[in-house]
Amino acid sequence: MSERDALIEIACRLFDGERLSLPAAARFAAISRAAMEGELRRRHIAIYRPTVEDLHQDLDTLRNLPGAGS
């Protein structure tokens, strides 16, 4: 494993453990955000992890759209 590959692997694991944000993981691995997303997808690591609160906010937004409930 090369040093570059090791940095990417560590960054992916830190992101998966919620120790680094996506931009921070990309900086740690010295790759672009898009490349980091690709590395995460390749490892089947979820990039976006919506919370229950996110879901509630989205539902509230949808309920308040013009024409909602009509």
Per-residue pLDDT, 70 = 60
SS3 (DSSP) at 45:
coil
Task: Please give the distance of CA 67 from its chain centroid, rounded to a whole number.
Answer: 32
Helices (H) and strands (E) in the chain, counts: 4, 0
Q: Distance between CA 9 and CA 36 in Å, rounded?
A: 10
Q: Does 68 score more than 90 pLDDT?
A: no
Q: Which has more confidence, 67 or 37?
A: 37
Give the number of residues written for the chain: 70
Per-residue pLDDT, 41 = 98
Tens digits of per-residue pLDDT, 5-51? 999 999 999 999 999 999 999 999 999 999 999 999 999 999 999 99
pLDDT range class, residue 69, cuts 50, 70, 90: low
Neighbours of 30 (CB within 10 A): 12
Neighbours of 29 (CB within 10 A): 23
